[in-house]
């Protein structure tokens, strides 16, 4: 994988003090936890950094930012004549012809599922699964739309799933296989992985794991109208349609979140500035055509609007029309800051002396079950520095003692980083970051009653045992 070209912020007309102010604001807000960022201006990387223990080489769960990659696959399929936007969805699934009798479901077009305009007025995922858990397309089409397709917006996972299913059907390939020679290889995107359903179909609406660099490259491709390093990959017409308002919002998506009220394209959100793909808990690909810039971010937060507010407050004013004067000191200071980014580890002391024998039985969940992670049934503690989580029959061993960083990284069987330690002679508190996801598990072990508690700082949306808290690996 070739590196993206780099430059100093000032050389590309970006005031480094604005980037520094943006970093300050991200790190000082207790509701935000940044994991990575890349900022491109005029096709040059002017700032990039990863908050340790997160690292540039690791793929990240992108959640609904996956949708923008699904739209890109659909764009290629349209360009190749495999899909037509004005075809009825049901025409791609003739085996459901007899089952789908609702006239609005039968009138639903490919462009409607691509733009979240299926005619439903709210999310249908649970209802679609209740109709048919093994074939979500059929389940979705069995949920009658409330209005005529194309007349109302509703953020709706099965709509994107159906778009992804059409691509996979007409190409005979998984999304990752189809995109590899068309998108990933030409853009220099390395390893990616996409969560599949029980039938082996990649989800489309979520589940893609890719690096921050991959997010930035996708944004740059769209910023350039589908051209990459002088070669046209996507039709300019597709990029234009995907990144303009296809359907407006009748009601607020989220009250007080203005960047979610500006309309929706083909799996891209329109914003107060530019457009973007985004995913739960703060995964962003923000494209700013007026500034000729792309911002890629991974993070953990439930206040996603706050991140975009900080972009508006600090980064947008930093963009100038041309190179900025200066002696390079501010650029150098920013580069040093970016190289030293790190999340603060949880505090904890070494194991107190004389208690090793007291921890020699497994701890069980307080209250009989772990509400946040029901598959976590026991924890074993060796005060010498090993803590083992017993989850769905698997044993996940965590090492304590993170050295200077305060974090200890374990790559197998699940990539995690651990910090923390003893808060007193009978209490062990750990912070477990699952490094290929946004999520952290907070664990407290109590010697007195031999129990533990474990809660997610942000609840994983896909659920399941801890072994799934990583990018899928080849069978």
pLDDT value for 1: 56
DSSP 259: G
Residue predicted with more confidence, 209 or 473 = 209
For the stretch 43-55, pLDDT in tens is 999 999 999 999 9
Strand order through the sheet with 283-288: 44-50, 32-41, 293-301, 283-288, 275-279, 269-270
pLDDT value for 384: 84
pLDDT at 103 over 60: yes
pLDDT value for 259: 94
Region of residue 8 (left: phi > 0; alpha: psi -120 to 50; beta: else): beta
- Picking from 368, 429, 373, 426, the residue whose alpha carbon sits closest to that of residue 398 is 429
pLDDT value for 360: 84
Mean pLDDT of the chain: 95
Mean pLDDT to the nearest integer, 261-279: 97
Give helix then strand counts, H and E, for the chain: 13, 20
Mean pLDDT to the nearest integer, 65-91: 98
Q: Which domains does the chain have, with CATH numbers?
A: 10-80+165-339 (3.40.710.10), 356-468 (no CATH)
* Token reading at 199: 């039938």
Task: Name the helix (H) or strand (E) containing 241.
Answer: helix 236-242
CA atoms of 33 and 435, how far apart (whole Å): 13
Mean pLDDT to the nearest integer, 123-141: 97
Decide if 183 contacts 167 (C-beta within 8 A): no
Continuous H helices in 50-118: 66-79, 103-107, 110-114
- Picking from 215, 196, 219, the residue whose alpha carbon sits closest to that of residue 207 is 196
Query: Which residue shows structure tokens 């507010």?
Result: 309
At 439, give phi and psi (nearest 5°): -100, 145
Burial of residue 62 (CB within 10 Å: 0-12, 13-18, 19+) is: buried
For the stretch 387-436, pLDDT in tens is 999 999 999 999 888 767 789 999 999 999 999 999 998 999 999 999 99
pLDDT band at 97; cut points 50, 70, 90: very high
Q: How far is CA 231 from the centre of its chain?
A: 28
- Picking from 389, 394, 384, 396, the residue whose alpha carbon sits closest to that of residue 422 is 384
- By percentage, how much of the chain surpasses pLDDT 70? 99
The model's pTM is 0.96
- Picking from 395, 381, 153, 163, the residue whose alpha carbon sits closest to that of residue 262 is 153
Decide if 52 contacts 45 (C-beta within 8 A): no
- By percentage, how much of the chain surpasses pLDDT 90? 88
For the stretch 277-334, pLDDT in tens is 999 999 999 999 999 999 999 999 999 999 999 999 999 999 988 888 877 899 999 9
DSSP 2: P
400-414 per-residue burial string, b: 16 or more CB within 10 A, e: under 16: bebeeebbbbbeeeb
For the stretch 216-236, pLDDT in tens is 999 999 999 999 999 999 999
* Token reading at 467: 């072994």
Query: Which residue shows structure tokens 């309309």?
Result: 263
């Amino acid at each position: 994988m070739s590196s993206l070209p780099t430059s100093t912020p000032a050389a590309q007309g970006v005031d480094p003090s604005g980037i520094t102010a943006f970093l300050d604001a991200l790190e000082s807000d207790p509701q935000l936890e940044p994991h990575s960022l890349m900022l491109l201006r005029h096709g040059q990387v002017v700032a990039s950094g990863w908050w340790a223990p997160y690292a540039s080489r690791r793929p990240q769960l992108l959640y609904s930012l996956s949708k923008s990659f699904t739209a890109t696959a659909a764009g290629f399929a349209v360009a190749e004549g495999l899909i037509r936007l004005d075809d009825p969805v049901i025409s791609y699934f003739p085996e459901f012809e007899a089952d789908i009798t609702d006239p609005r479901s039968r009138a639903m077009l490919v462009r409607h599922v691509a733009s979240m305009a299926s005619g439903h007025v709210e999310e249908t995922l649970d209802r679609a699964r209740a109709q048919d858990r093994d074939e979500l397309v059929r389940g979705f089409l069995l949920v009658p739309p409330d209005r005529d397709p194309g007349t109302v917006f509703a953020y709706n996972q099965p709509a994107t799933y159906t778009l992804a299913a059409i691509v996979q059907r007409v190409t005979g390939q998984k999304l990752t296989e189809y995109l590899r020679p068309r998108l990933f290889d030409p853009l220099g995107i390395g390893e990616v992985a996409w969560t599949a359903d029980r039938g082996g179909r990649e989800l489309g609406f979520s589940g893609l794991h890719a690096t921050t660099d991959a997010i930035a490259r996708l944004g740059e491709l769209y910023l350039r109208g589908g051209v990459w390093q002088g070669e046209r990959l996507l039709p300019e017409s597709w990029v234009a349609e995907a990144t303009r308002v296809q359907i407006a919002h009748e009601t607020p998506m989220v009250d007080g979140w203005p960047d979610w009220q500006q309309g929706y394209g083909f799996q891209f959100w329109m914003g107060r500035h530019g457009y973007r793909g985004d995913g739960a808990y703060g995964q962003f690909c923000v494209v700013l055509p007026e500034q000729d810039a792309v911002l890629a971010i991974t993070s953990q937060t439930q206040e996603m609007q706050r991140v975009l507010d900080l972009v508006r407050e600090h980064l947008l004013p930093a963009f100038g029309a041309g190179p900025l004067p200066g002696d390079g000191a501010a650029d150098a200071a920013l580069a040093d800051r970016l190289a030293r980014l790190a999340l603060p580890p949880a505090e904890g002391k070494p194991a107190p002396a004389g208690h090793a024998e007291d921890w020699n039985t497994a701890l069980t969940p307080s209250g009989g079950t772990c509400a946040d992670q029901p598959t976590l049934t026991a924890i074993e503690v060796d005060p010498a520095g090993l803590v083992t989580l017993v989850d769905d029959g698997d044993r996940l061993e965590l090492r304590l003692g993170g050295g200077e960083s305060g974090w200890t990284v374990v790559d197998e069987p699940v990539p995690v980083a651990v910090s923390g330690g003893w808060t007193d002679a009978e209490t062990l508190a750990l912070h477990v970051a699952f490094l290929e996801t946004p999520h952290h598990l907070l664990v407290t072990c109590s010697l007195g009653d031999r129990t533990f508690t474990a809660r997610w700082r942000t609840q994983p949306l896909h659920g399941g045992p801890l072994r799934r808290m990583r990018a899928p690996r080849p069978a």
